[in-house]
Amino acid sequence: MASGGEVKLFGMWASPAVRRVEWALKLKGIEYEYIEEDISNKSKDLVKYNPINKQVPVLLHNGKPIIESLVIIEYIDEVWKHNPILPKDPYERAMARFWATYSEDKCRGAVREVFFAEGEKRVKAIKCLEETLRALDEELKGKKFFGGENIGFSDLVLGWMAFWLGVSEEVASFEVLDPKKFPWFTSWIDNFLKVPVIKENLPPRDKTVEFFHSYRRLHLAAPKC
Amino acid sequence: MASGGEVKLFGMWASPAVRRVEWALKLKGIEYEYIEEDISNKSKDLVKYNPINKQVPVLLHNGKPIIESLVIIEYIDEVWKHNPILPKDPYERAMARFWATYSEDKCRGAVREVFFAEGEKRVKAIKCLEETLRALDEELKGKKFFGGENIGFSDLVLGWMAFWLGVSEEVASFEVLDPKKFPWFTSWIDNFLKVPVIKENLPPRDKTVEFFHSYRRLHLAAPKC
């Protein structure tokens, strides 16, 4: 195990953003204390360490809080330099960061749209999500992972799609993960989920499906303004 | 002037995301060719170099395209190491990246909401924007720039607010930049706009106001779906 001071992670079991930070910590072999947050009743510590948006994940390293999952992963990679997550070459680093941004700016919103949309809006949202996946499929052509043979920054950041997109399909009754349409993207999902650190650090699928069923029901029942 | 191969920037004069890349290039003293894009009639080169979202800015370095303004600035800082933009210390780097993320995830959306909202929605949007500015004001307490005495990554990324927020106030007739409410944030704006590289690389204000007037009118007149 890599040492380097006291590391704590404030998380929530169903959160993809928390899970990607855990993957990074495990890839580096960093020992850490995990603190589960009750999102409906946030702890004083969470509010103290992340007063601005009061969200998980928060990484606490030697008492100092780091916020935002992508920022946390880059921090981890800069402090613990073994088993590098980002490539060394500046251009490859830029590509890795581009796909990470693509996850947050495009994929997250596209999945969310389909997850909550109904009727005609849903048809449109599915088309948009498929376009989003098309770009990933093309990027992954002929590759095992985004960076090549080993998982890296883009894989960790986009990794939520390997698990939570399938969960979303089940919860919201849609289907986009078609190996005929997206052969490279779906095979990346298989490759990603086979990596021991990932496979051993996923939430239980049934419990996750149940959680997102409630989440969706609550959202759809909420008054719209 | 720093050399390091051929550098081209595809931009659009009124775009804050393009301007922040230019500030970074100028801070480093990097020679580059600027190519103005007509957004309503995008060039073949833009579509070729940024097929995924076909947007500016695109930095072309020795023929290789880099996309997304934050990714471009980190790339510039890694390739041309003099006049560093990001701090050296991993924790300070994480803080700089956090505020950059805050610009893109919170500030941009909050300003956009006020810019287009009308009636009751606008009252709510202004409150939300003021909360967003409150966090910046607290962070800037007692400081000239985000990182201290010199401008750095957070300043460059949040720098659009120093110019375009005032423009937005004028175009959409609202007022949030009150030195009594936000003494540190408004004094940061003054400090930022005094930096020669910034002051000398801003679009003409009248033309920008005119541009965003048309942009807002077009958006508000567009059919809603």
Q: Which ipTM was obtained for this model?
A: 0.95
Contact A75 B68 (CB under 8 A): no
Residue B130 shares a structural domain with residue B193: yes
Residues B188-224: tens digit of each pLDDT: 999 999 999 999 999 999 999 999 999 999 988 876 5
Residue A13 shares a structural domain with residue A111: no
Q: Does any domain span residue A200?
A: yes
Contact B98 A71 (CB under 8 A): yes
Confidence of residue A225 (pLDDT cuts 50, 70, 90): very low
Q: Does any domain span residue B2?
A: no
B66, B68, B101: residue with CB nearest A71:
B101
Torsion angles phi and psi, residue A26, rounded to 5: -70, -40
Contacts of B97 in chain A (CB under 8 A): 68, 70-71, 74
Q: Which of B44, B18, B8 is nearest to B159 (CA)?
A: B18
- Percent of chain A past pLDDT 70, that is, above it, reads 97
Q: What is the mean pLDDT of residues A123-129?
A: 96
Dihedral (Cα; B29, B34, B40, B43), 10-degree rounding: -130
Residue B51 shares a structural domain with residue B130: no
Residue B212 shares a structural domain with residue B128: yes
Helix axes A160-172, A108-116, angle to 10 degrees: 10
Q: In CATH, what number is assigned to the domain containing residue B73? A: 3.40.30.10
Residues A8-19: tens digit of each pLDDT: 999 999 999 999
How far is the C-alpha of A37 from the C-alpha of A113, rounded, in Å? 26
- How far is A78 from chain B, CA to nearest CA, in Å? 6
Residue B119 shares a structural domain with residue B194: yes
- Report residue B41 CA to chain centroid gap: 23
Q: Residue B108: CA atoms inside 13 Å, Cβ hemisphere, count?
A: 15
Domain closes at, from B21, B51, B79: B79
B68, B91, B94: residue with CB nearest A101:
B68
Residue B110 shares a structural domain with residue B62: no
Q: Which of B105, B106, B111, B110 is nearest to B171 (CA)?
A: B111
How far is the C-alpha of A218 from the C-alpha of A123, rounded, in Å? 22
Domain closes at, from A79, A114, A143: A79
How far is the C-alpha of B217 from the C-alpha of B225, rounded, in Å? 17
Residues of A with CB under 8 A from a CB of B: 52-53, 61, 64, 66-68, 70-72, 74-75, 78-79, 90-91, 93-94, 97-98, 101-102, 106, 135
Q: Is the pLDDT of residue B3 over 90?
A: no
User: From the CA atom positions of chain A, what is the Rg in Å?
Assistant: 18
Contacts 24+ apart (CB under 8 A), B49-54: B49/B10, B50/B10, B52/A102, B52/A135, B53/A106
Q: What is the mean pLDDT of residues A42-66?
A: 96
Q: Does any domain span residue A148?
A: yes
**Residues near B212 by Cβ (< 8 Å), separated by ≥ 6?**
B14, B167, B168, B171
Q: Does any domain span residue A201?
A: yes
How far is the C-alpha of B97 from the C-alpha of A70, rounded, in Å? 9
Residue A72 shares a structural domain with residue A166: no
A61, A78, A101: residue with CB nearest B93:
A78
**DSSP classification of residue A223:** P
Contacts 24+ apart (CB under 8 A), B205-208: B205/B163, B205/B167, B207/B14, B208/B14, B208/B163, B208/B164, B208/B167
Range of the domain at B216: 90-220
| For residue A84, cis peptide bond before it (omega within 30 degrees of 0) | no
Q: Which one of A71, A73, A78 would you mutate to disrupt binding with B, by most B Cβ within 10 Å of its Cβ?
A: A71
Residue B113 shares a structural domain with residue B195: yes
Domain closes at, from B58, B79, B100: B79
User: From the CA atom positions of chain B, what is the Rg in Å?
Assistant: 18
Contacts of B106 in chain A (CB under 8 A): 53
Contact A79 B67 (CB under 8 A): no
- Report residue B207 CA to chain centroid gap: 18
How many structural domains does chain A have?
Answer: 2
